[in-house]
């Protein structure tokens, strides 16, 4: 419960900064407010998923699913939280890859250090990641629906 609350609280701070409730964010934001809010929302939802999965449902079974006998409403809630996390992360990656404006990337290599990265290469990398996230979303929905139906 404590871990889930801490993760959600960190995300909530990012969301509050993005929507302007916490002042001073304008100067530090390097992305549109909705992108920053989506990033924060992914943490809020992840914290909630930790709470639902472990504090409420009692952890995960060996197959990664919720334990046998978990109520259907809890399974649906957990799946919706996962759906929200995936969509939030995919939206951020999609904006980085395909959104308007310049991007600045850096590259860090072990034993070599850190340096500036190529914008085109960075966008391609994020684009591949974004496409994979959207594909993962489809797989996640199919698997979640199957698990919910199986455990009626």
Domain containing 102: what range?
2-150
Residue 69 has pLDDT above 70, yes or no: yes
Instruction: Please give the tally of structural domains in the chain.
Output: 1
Residue 24 has pLDDT above 80, yes or no: no
| Average pLDDT rounded to a whole number, residues 111-137 | 92
Q: Residue 47: its pLDDT value, please?
A: 97
Q: Residue 26: its pLDDT value, please?
A: 66
Q: Residue 27: its pLDDT value, please?
A: 65
Full-model pTM: 0.88
Q: What is the mean pLDDT of the chain?
A: 91
| Average pLDDT rounded to a whole number, residues 13-25 | 86
Q: Sorting pLDDT into bands at 50, 70 and 90, what band is 52?
A: very high
Contact between 95 and 104 under an 8 Å Cβ cutoff? The reply is: no
Q: Sorting pLDDT into bands at 50, 70 and 90, what band is 128?
A: very high
Q: Sorting pLDDT into bands at 50, 70 and 90, what band is 151?
A: confident
Distance, in Å, from the CA atom of 58 to the CA atom of 114, rounded to the nearest integer, reads 42
Contact between 148 and 76 under an 8 Å Cβ cutoff? The reply is: yes
Least confident of 46-55, 57-66, 121-130: 57-66
Task: For residue 144, give the nearest of 85, 90, 82, 91 by alpha carbon.
Answer: 82
Q: Residue 113: its pLDDT value, please?
A: 81
């Amino acid at each position: 419960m404590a871990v889930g609350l801490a993760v959600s609280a960190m995300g909530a701070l990012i969301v509050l900064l993005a929507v302007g409730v916490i002042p001073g964010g304008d100067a530090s934001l390097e992305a549109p407010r909705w992108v920053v809010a989506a990033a924060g929302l992914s943490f809020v939802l992840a914290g909630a998923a930790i709470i639902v999965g472990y504090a409420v449902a009692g952890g995960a079974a060996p197959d990664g699913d919720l334990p046998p006998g978990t109520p259907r409403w809890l399974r649906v809630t957990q799946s919706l939280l996962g759906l929200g996390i995936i969509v939030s992360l995919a939206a951020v990656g999609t904006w980085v890859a395909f959104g308007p404006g310049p991007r600045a990337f850096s590259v860090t290599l072990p034993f070599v250090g850190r340096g500036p990265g190529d914008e085109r290469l960075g966008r391609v990398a994020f684009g591949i990641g974004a496409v994979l996230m959207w594909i993962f979303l489809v797989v996640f929905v199919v698997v979640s629906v199957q698990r919910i139906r199986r455990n009626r």
